[in-house]
Amino acid sequence: MTDTTSALQIELKQSRPFASYAEEAQLGVLRTAEVLGRGTAELLRPYGLTPTQYNVLRILRGAGPEGLPCAEIGTRMLTHEPDVTRLLDRLQKVGLIARERAATDRRVVLTRITEPGLALLARLDGPVAELSRRRLDGLSESDVRSLIRLLDAVRATAAAICTAEIARSGAEAGTEPDQTAAAGG
């Protein structure tokens, strides 16, 4: 690493340099995600939503009138949520979603966004888009596209490593990888 103090070091009040550029980049991504998340939470708070609840509403709007089962909502979320059912309970209690058993398979409960949920998202579309635009104002369109490509590559590599680690730990425990994941491992 260089002797130059980075912006992240200053922000974190870290006197020692990072061990590697990889460490600094990973911590930079994590810190940036926290800063972006905090800003999103502040925007959503007056509307009575958390970023996770907002994410679920957007997923359900995208799913259309068919809705989605709980497990599918969980796989589409931006962040891992250990208790999607409880999250859906809160949204249903305030009338933003509705749940009902599927006609074709009574074991499946489908979740749909309600008209009040759609109306709330419609009110948020403009402010959320404006916040996203303002956050990246200092970057050219080409820089933003490069950032997207770089983040895609990091996410793909991290996901592959995570999958390999789950498979390895499952093999060490004598279970199949999907059994390990289903058991919460």
Percent of the chain past pLDDT 90, that is, above it, reads 72
The domain limits of the chain are 1-44, 48-128, 139-185
The correct CATH number of 48-128 out of 1.20.120.420, 1.10.490.10, 1.10.10.10, 3.60.15.10 is 1.10.10.10
Alpha carbon distance 29, 23 (integer Å): 10
Band (pLDDT 50/70/90 cuts) for residue 3 is low
103 or 76: which leads in pLDDT: 76
Specify the long-range contacts of residues 43-46, CB closer than 8 Å, at least 24 apart: 43/127, 43/128, 43/131, 44/124
> DSSP 3-state assignment of 49?
coil
pLDDT, one tens digit per residue, over 96-111 is 999 998 888 888 889 9
Q: What is the pLDDT of residue 176?
A: 59
Alpha carbon distance 44, 150 (integer Å): 28
